[in-house]
Structure 1
Amino acid sequence: MATYNKGILGPFTGKVGTVVGANWRGKDVLRSLPKKTKRTPSETQRLQRERFLTATEFLTPINPVLGKYFGAKSGEKTRLNQAMSYHLKEAVVFQDPDFVIDYTKVTISKGDLPGLQNPEVVAIAGGKLGFTWEDNSGQGEAKADDAVIVVVYAPAAGLYYTQLETATRSGNTLGITLPAFFNGLEVQSWIGVTAADHKSNATSIPMGAVTVLA
């Protein structure tokens, strides 16, 4: 793989002849096309691929959330890189014969900001979820106007719903009305918080499973 400066045609992505152009960690790079092989992957290689695919399929729909709230950019390692590394190591587990997501280990935001105190979630008739927490403004760097972020996921249907920055730490409560197609489904959710200036985030908290009531 080689980096290149923008020539008369500028940077490019995709295949041209025997090379592929791409942007990798903020740099324009060229790399040769992989050689085709008929070699059967080893069991270890197959498992690694399945682990990566499991993480990718779960995280891709919430990449916009992870890219904004997961940690902080560190050198050439983006927030999405950090999120992928974390979930591959901590949240993807093997349950013979498949890899699955451990929802208690999923993290939608990560950082040193104090999280919400004693958050709870309940299902309310009408397709609603009610989140409550105790106002811990003033604890460390926690401030009243820190914004709350929530991701909801229905595993059986592969559906996601996000509610970002519509409530504050001092507000103590957040009500979410899910689309009707969530009715009757068991959902997992995670709640996090970010500073009003987005310079720091709290590590999110898994809220466990509840069933959405019609």
Structure 2
Amino acid sequence: MGTYNKGILGPFSGKVGTVVGASWRGKDIMRSLPKKTDRTPSETQLLQRLKFTTVSNFLTPMSTVLSRYFGLSGIELTRRNQAMSYHLKYAVEYVDPDFEMLYDKVLISKGDLLGIQNQAVTAVVTDKLTYTWSDNSGQGQALATDKLVVVVYEPTMNLYYISLDAGTRADATATVQLPAEFNGLEVQSWITFAAADDKKYATSVYMGAIMVV
């Protein structure tokens, strides 16, 4: 892949001959077309594709969270790609015949802000989850106004619930109302803090499995 400032006729997009033009992260780029092949993929290649697809399908519904709160900005990899890289390496395993996510290794955010301490979750009638934690405002860069971010996932129906502002650090408790589809199902959830302006964020914590009542 190469970058260019001015083509023969200026920047272009799409296929021209044996190259493709596009814009990527504000830069005009050209890349060669992939070569066609009749080779049958090896078992290892098929497993890698399945692994990538499993992780991508799991993370895609969380993109609004990952694109804000995962890793660093201003580097070559987007936040989404940083999340993909982490989860492919640490948070998925092969259980014949499929890959499965390791929920206790999953992160919905990765940052340096002081995180959640003494956390707990309780199921509340009807279709609610109540989260509690210690108010550690004033420690480090932690502020009372930091927002609680919540992701809830139900694997059998592939259901997601996301809140980018479920409460504040100073509240020390927050209750989220899940859609009725979650009733009677066991869910996984993760929570984290983000600054009110989204410029700082903590590394998330896994809250374990819990039955919605």
How far 1:9 moved relative to its partner?
A: 7.1
Distance 2:137 2:130 in 1: 21
CA RMSD in angstroms comes to 1.8
- 1:84 counterpart residue number: 84
Residue 37 of structure 1: CA displacement?
Answer: 1.1
Deviation for aligned residue 1:3: 2.0
* Deviation by residue 1:29-88 (Cα, 9 ceiling, x = unmatched): 222221221111122222211111111111111111101011221422221121111111
Any conservation in 2 of the 1:26–1:76 contact (CA below 8 Å)? no
Shift of 1:17: 5.0
Whole-Å Cα distance in 1 between the matches of residues 151 and 26 of structure 2? Answer: 28
Percent identity among equivalent residues?
61
Matched, 1:121 2:121: yes
Segments of structure 2 that go 5 or more residues without pairing to the other structure are none
Q: 1:46 to 1:139 in 2, by over 3 A?
A: same
* 2:176 partner letter: I
C-alpha distance in structure 2 between counterparts of 1:80 and 1:192, whole Å = 17
Deviation at 1:26, TM superposition (A): 3.9
Distance 1:211 1:21, change over 3 A: farther
Conserved 8 A contact 1:146-1:168: yes
- 1:136 Cα offset (Å): 1.0
Residue 154 of structure 2 aligns with which residue?
154
Normalising to structure 1: TM-score of the pair? 0.91
Q: Does the 8 A contact of 2:166 with 2:176 survive in 1?
A: no
Q: What secondary structure does 1:131 align onto? A: strand
Structure having the higher strand fraction is 1
Q: Distance in 2 between matches of 1:161 and 1:6?
A: 45
Q: State how many pairs are aligned.
A: 212
- Deviation (angstroms), 1:185: 1.5
Q: CA deviation at 1:5?
A: 3.2
8 Å Cα contact 1:25/1:77 also seen in 2: no
Distance 1:95 1:150 in 2: 28
Say whether residues 1:137 and 2:141 are aligned partners.
no
Counterpart of 2:203 in structure 1 is 203
Contact conserved, 1:71 with 1:201, CA < 8 A, in 2? no
For the residues of structure 2 that align with 1:64 and 1:201, how far apart are their CA atoms? Answer: 14
Aligned to 1:48: 48
| CA distance in 2 between partners of 1:23 and 1:125 (Å) | 50
For normalisation by structure 2, the TM-score amounts to 0.91
Instruction: Give distance in 2, aligned partners of 1:209 and 1:83.
Output: 22
